[in-house]
Amino acid sequence: MALFHWSHPGGPAWGKYYSSLHYFTSKSKTMIPGPKGLPLLGSMGLMASSLAHRRIAALADACGARRLMAFSLGETRVIVSCNPDVAKEILNSSVFADRPVKESAYSLMFNRAIGFAAYGVYWRTLRRIAATHLFCPKQIKASESQRAEIADQMVRIMLGSRKDENVVRVREVLKKASLNSMMCSVFGQRYRMDEANTEMDELRGLVDEGYDLLGTFNWSDHLPWLAHFDSQKIRFRCSQLVPKVNRFVTNIIADHRAKKTHSNRDFVDVLLSLQGPDQLTDSDMIAVLWEMIFRGTDTVAVLMEWILARMVVHPDVQSKVHAEIDEVVGGSRAVTEADVAKMGYLTAVVKEVLRLHPPGPLLSWARLAITDTTIDGYHVPAGTTAMVNMWAISRDPQVWRNPLEFMPERFVSKGLGEAEFSILGSDLRLAPFGSGRRTCPGKTLGLTTVSYWVATLLHEFEWSPLDETEVDLSEILRLSSEMANPLTVKIRPRRGIRMSQSS
């Protein structure tokens, strides 16, 4: 029977469905094209790869199934689209309002946070609270001073690199900055980046471990008979991590209740002030706060590292950004967020990096069909996992002109027909933060932070390769698609040079 199921398009999980009474009573009998993979396993090797998005795109091309492809991950039915129209159909459908909750996400309490909570009253409440008190324009504006303070600390750290011949290990600085920013917004804790702090170091370790666990493909999520063995030690590592997270966040909540650690109202205060049906239990508060720190830290650092890497690889583009910043800001003062709003070319650079290096090339987490539905004319049964390959869409020559070229001008030159559209989810040609009900709630805050910090670092420094060696742009897909080799560069201060030349 296993071989019979495996013989169907899409492999064993789909074959099992196609052999069921449910399929024979459905309206559409057309099978979704896709690879068979291996008996029992299906195409497990696809997702176990560190470049899963590339392998899925290549397989969709080979199967002639870019619009919609079916494949099996063990006993899990999966569909994936590499087409913007079909992607929009999936992401904006109320049927795909849930996410499949893998073991690590459940163990790490994310099933009670915004990312993985089931669609319903509780999830909508969390979204509304976050949108009102953390990600709204008023709150983003109110937190501008903290981002400016952290930007200044980054500059000072990099200026201190002169004793190391102006060599900067970029990822280390960016991760400290993004974690510091989220700690301030969520927990109300302010730290100096250039000073040792055991609490920050502890949290960084917790985030790194959680990031690794969620980014690891867990075979037992799709082969239930493997779950007992915990062969990848994911369950064991989660059991070691969760008590540490509980203890860390519980202490911060307790301090806030005692009014010991903060002067300004932060997100912990917001959650503690909720009354009536909105009030959260302590365990739910821990899950929500942990997810905010977790999700808000690495995405900013990953995207900024890609942007700065591209500035080193493309010095002509870096020169254009420098010229724009100098025109808007000059050399006598620091960049402000109001200045960034006037920088059209910098905005185009950020969009172009998001196109070529989307942090979530498979939009990070998949969707789950809660009822039967029809996608692109095919019947898709309830319980099917759906993915969108944003990496493939953003490099599709049918969608983009010269898609492999780094060309920010495509977003500023009206004649190319690619300039005027939002990247926040309305146009699936480029929707790195998702679309529909499950779009990233912190996308505006993330873009604001990235754009401002990049503008500051480019205003202050010229960026060049280390010892004339080329920057390695190879990538690795963990939870996000990050540079396989951390960016290390040479910098040269700009503002002091210009000021001395003009005096």
> Contact, 399 vs 417, CB < 8 A?
no
Please give the C-alpha separations between residue 376 and each of 188, 195, 209, 422, in angstroms, as whole numbers. Answer: 47, 55, 39, 24
Closest Cα partner for 22 from 366, 335, 384, 460? 384
From 378, 412, 484, select the one nearest 83 (Cα to Cα).
378
Angle at 269 between CA 268 and CA 275, to 5 degrees: 105
**Residue 264: exposure state from Cβ atoms within 10 A (0-12, 13-18, ≥19):** exposed
Q: Pairing state of beta strands 475-477 and 481-483? A: antiparallel
The answer to whether 184 is a known ligand-binding residue is: no
Token pair in block for residue 2:
């296993």
Using alpha carbons only, what angle is made at residue 491 by residues 485 and 497, rounded to the nearest 5 degrees? 170
Within 10 Å of residue 79's Cβ, how many Cβ atoms? 27
Cα separation, 279 vs 39, whole angstroms = 48
Pair 479, 364: CB distance under 8 Å: yes
Up-side HSE of residue 437: CA atoms within 13 Å toward CB?
22
Positions at the binding site = 440
Positions at the binding site for heme = 440
